[in-house]
Amino acid sequence: MVKRRKKLHGTVKKVIKPVVPTEKEKAQIDVHEGDHLYREIRIDNLVTDENGQKSKLKEGEPVDLIVETHSDPSLKKPEDP
């Protein structure tokens, strides 16, 4: 099965501290290519590099977002006539 992916660019807008200590810190990311009402996402503020080292995002940091899916050949974009 072939994986399809799209790379998007964003910026960490703010880091949100948890209200309850047992909850996780969140990073709010502005997605540059997102539609007007859908430009922000929030994720746990924990990232891992290729060596398994864990880190946190900081405000103002540029980020790349990768949307990946498993694709079926029947879902291919039709060719223009």
Provide the pLDDT confidence category of residue 78 given band limits of 50, 70 and 90.
Answer: low
The pair of structure tokens assigned to 41 is 């996402």
21 located within any domain: yes
| Domain of 62, in residue numbers | 9-68
Q: What is the pLDDT of residues 11-21, one digit of tens each?
A: 999 999 999 99
Q: What is the pLDDT of residues 17-54, one digit of tens each?
A: 999 999 999 999 999 998 989 999 999 999 998 899 99
Contact 74, 4 (CB under 8 A): no
Contact 63, 12 (CB under 8 A): yes
**Whole-prediction pTM value?**
0.78
Contact 28, 43 (CB under 8 A): no
Q: 29-53 burial by CB neighbour count: b if 16+ within 10 A, else e?
A: bebeeeeeeeeeeeeebeeeeeeee
80 located within any domain: no
pLDDT at 3: 79
pLDDT at 70: 76
81 located within any domain: no
User: How many domains is the chain built from?
Assistant: 1
pLDDT at 5: 87
